Amino acid sequence: MVHYLILCRSLTYAQRTARILERGGIAGTVMRTPGRIAKDGCGYCVRVGEKRLADALVLLRREGLPPKQVFVQSAAGEYSEAVL
């Protein structure tokens, strides 16, 4: 299954992001950013399903909390930066 990782600048921002998504009816899981894609050392991200990314981005922008970066995690577990 394909997932998107919405990278956040801190744990607090990841938690805010997850709450905004939850209020909008989108399931999001706060997790540590995988080391392969974390550029600033350790970080946090929110994982959402592939069919909900567009809705998630609309909600976050509306709330003034745009993502730092977004990565796609393939079914094989590989990561690549999403082109938005």
Predicted pLDDT of residue 14: 95
Q: How far apart are CA 14 and CA 67, in angstroms?
A: 9
Tens of pLDDT along the chain (84 residues) come to 889 999 998 999 999 999 999 999 999 999 999 888 877 666 899 999 989 999 999 999 999 998 889 999 988 888 999 887
Are 5 and 50 in contact, with CB atoms under 8 Å apart? no
Secondary structure element (H or E) that encloses residue 71, with its range: strand 69-73
Domains of the chain: residue spans and CATH: 3-81 (3.30.70.1530)
pTM equals 0.90
pLDDT tens digit string along 5-24?
999 989 999 999 999 999 99
